[in-house]
A and B are shown apart, each in its own frame.
Chain A
Amino acid sequence: MHKRGLLFYVKIYLKIIKQDIKSKMTYRADFIISNFGMIIQQAAGFITFWLIFQNFPSVAGWKYEEMLFFYGFSLIALTPMQCFFDNNWFLQQKVYSGDFIKYCLRPINIFFYFISEIFDLKGLGLLTAGIAILAYSWVQLEIAFSFLILLILIVNLFAASLFLIGIMNIAAAVCFWTVTGEIAMVFAQQFQGYARYPIAIFNRVLRFLFTFIIPIAFVSYYPSLVFLRPDNIPLLTWLSPLIGVLFFMLSYFIWMKGAKNYNGTGS
């Protein structure tokens, strides 16, 4: 039997992505329209904040620019999920129709094979909007810039992405057990939207829910505190990269367990 290590998977992945981008380039209109849609969607989110702060001076002690920081941070953290894990949105349809079986027939990891199939270019629109909003608030808040803080930013963004990917993996896996599991994806996506609010404004029940059950508090709030409240950084902020890796692994195991549960018949 052949051994298939990390290097093997990286090599295969790059090849698939290359082919996928090549074939997508023949649909340039789609690329432009979806990225335009992505930017419009984020512009609307931006306008929402702007409208709130036109009417209210601050939100529970958080300034306009600080709210934008959370928002921009969460958008950048969303990008890897959008670019690399978008096929989760099609899982339900493939399980329902029975087409999912094709992922079970190759001598490679099922999750990898499934996820590698799509590289979604509209994540680039998300990244653009995220960087613009984060940079704007960064400058407005006059946060000092150094190599170290950039490194922390990157590590924290990486951890935040893992949480988001994990949430969507679990939501997608629901369809292995109930056929109309797509609704779980829709809700998970709505919750993602609330990752842009500082968790501190919620009551205890929701804070618990968003920290330990649907951990969107780690998507933006905890990792951003390093930059916004450097004098008072909670322990969970420092632990978030570790918890992120663990959470991602948990989501992977749930997904794989679901795939094993798949009976190959469709419906």
Chain B
Amino acid sequence: MKKIITLKNVSKEYKTLNRREGLRGSFLDLFSRNYKIINAVNDISFEIKPGEKVGLLGPNGAGKSTAIKMMSGVLKPTGGEIFVNGVIPYENRTKNAENIGVVFGQRTQLWWALPLIESFKLLKDIYMIKNADYDNMMELYKSIIDLGPLLNKPVRQMSLGQRTLSDILASFLHNPKVVFLDEPTIGLDVSVKSKIRELILELNKNKNTTIILTTHDISDIDALCERAIIIDKGNKLYDNSLENLKKFFGSYRTLKVLFKKNEEWVDYLVNEDEQSVMQKLNEIAAQKKIVDIKIEEISTEDVIKKIYDGGIND
């Protein structure tokens, strides 16, 4: 089957300044500096088929955003090759830009002072979208969400949730073959999160758009993706179906317990195949007084720790 995105042994190195500590250190840095090389992305390869929904999962600083920036043509890799729609993104930025949409959570790409509808009209001109296609897309949008309160509102007056929603709509406007979503749900509350996930799923279903999503929140992947790629410290740790991942981690829960008000929550990782959360809770309660509890899915950090410990089939 045809591939829409190919990464072959891609690496990206950064040079950063090693700063010394304190006022004295700042003075020393003024005259002599030492740099260190950071491998943000280290020899990563994968292929993605048209219409696939892929999640790039990893903690902050894992190299997910760097990968997205390379695929969208902003950054040039220091090694390896990338093809998106048969185009090398960093060598042909504008051609690549026509076929992709990109959203960065918390960082709008719309015109700050303009009402959303005016941003859309400008994008229509910039991407040279035909009238009929534009109208079709607007019809589709209206069938999925209530655009009414958004269209005439200047972006600067929008809430973060409305802004992210608008940015996602804008990124699909020219019907790109691939849409990259970099942490689209960061900083949003649960109800807005689910609204945004629904929107992405609907658009993917209707237009067969390939979706590449980065997140540090495993529930995003759970809700949106059929395939997960896990990255940590620039290395690819896992690349397989979400189902396979869930077979392994689906029974894990994070039990958060608060022992005293204003203290920090204490985390316990529970494998429900071995012991239920209730059993674990009783065990803890027998020893100490509990003020409050929360039950969450396994955190990305715990998944990565488990992968390092071994025991998952890639």
Contacts and interface: CB of A to CB of B under 8 A. Distances in A.
Q: Decide if A and B touch, CB cutoff 8 A.
A: yes
Interface of A: 1-2, 4, 11-12, 15-16, 19-20, 23-24, 98-99, 101-102, 104-108, 117, 262-265
B125 interface: yes
25 contacts: A1-B94, A1-B95, A2-B98, A2-B127, A2-B128, A11-B125, A15-B122, A101-B69, A101-B107, A102-B104, A102-B109, A104-B73, A104-B74, A105-B74, A105-B97, A107-B95, A107-B98, A107-B126, A107-B127, A108-B94, A262-B74, A263-B14, A263-B75, A264-B69, A265-B14
A64 to B, nearest CB: 44
Given A101-B104, A104-B93, A1 B98 contact: yes
B111 interface: yes
A11 B121 CA distance: 13
Nearest to B94: A107
A102 B107 contact: yes
B102 interface: yes
Interface string B93-126: 1110110001010011101011000100110011
Say whether chain B's binding surface is mostly helix, strand, loop, or mixed. Answer: mixed
Contact of A105 (B14, B72, B111): B72
A19 B126 contact: no
Contact of A12 (B69, B102, B125): B125
B122 A105 contact: no
Contact of B74 (A16, A23, A101, A108): A101
Given A15-B125, A19-B114, A105-B109, 19 more contacts: A2-B98, A4-B128, A12-B125, A15-B122, A16-B111, A16-B122, A19-B122, A24-B113, A98-B107, A101-B107, A102-B104, A104-B73, A105-B72, A105-B74, A106-B126, A107-B98, A107-B126, A107-B127, A117-B111
Nearest to B174: A107
Interface of B: 14, 69, 72-75, 93-95, 97-98, 102, 104, 107-109, 111, 113-114, 118, 121-122, 125-128, 154
B75 A264 contact: yes
A254 to B, nearest CB: 18
Nearest to A113: B126
A262 B69 CA distance: 11
Contacts of A11: 125
A82 B109 CA distance: 24
Nearest to B76: A260
Contacts of A108: 94, 126
A71 B211 CA distance: 57
Contacts of A264: 69, 74-75
